[in-house]
Amino acid sequence: MAIEMNQPALRHARALIREGKVVRDERDDWSEASPTADEENAFIEREGWTQYSHWHLGVDRRENSETKGAYSFPFGDFRKVHRSGVIAGESRAGQHEHYEIRDALKSLLELIDKDDES
C-alpha cells in the first residue's frame, strides 16, 4: 500500500484538540468508540467524502478518493478526537512501518495529554 500522511486531517485533528473536542479514553475503548459502517455511511451522505477524509491520517492515493478503502488511521467519531483512536492508530502505524503517520499520531497524543495536565 502507498499510504501517505493526510495533512488536512492532521491539521483538523490539531484544531479539534486545541478547541477541547477530545474524549480522553483509554486504548481499549476504541473498539467501542470507533464509528460503525452505518455511522460512516451516514456521515459521508451528510458531509461528503472530503469531510470524511479529514478524520483519517492515512490516504492511499492509488485508491478512488470516494471509497472508504482510500482512508486509514481514523482518530475520532466525527465529532471529537478520541485518545483511544490516536493510541490504536499510533501502534498500528508503527507495526506497518508508516513512520510519518506514527510520529504524527504520537504528537497528537502528546498534545492531548499536555492539555489534560493543564
Domain ranges in the chain?
3-117
Per-residue pLDDT tens over the stretch 7-26:
999 999 999 999 999 999 98
pLDDT, mean of residues 34-55: 98
Which 3 state secondary structure label does DSSP give 20?
A: coil
pLDDT in tens, 60-118: 999 999 999 999 999 999 999 999 999 999 999 999 999 999 999 999 999 999 966 65
Q: Which three cell numbers stand for residue 40?
A: 460512516
Q: Are 35 and 78 in contact (CB under 8 A)?
A: yes
pLDDT for the residue 95: 96
State the Cα–Cα distance between residues 68 and 53, nearest whole angstrom. Answer: 9
What's the mean pLDDT when you consider all of the chain? 95
**What is d(CA 97, CA 30) in angstroms, rounded to the nearest whole number?**
21
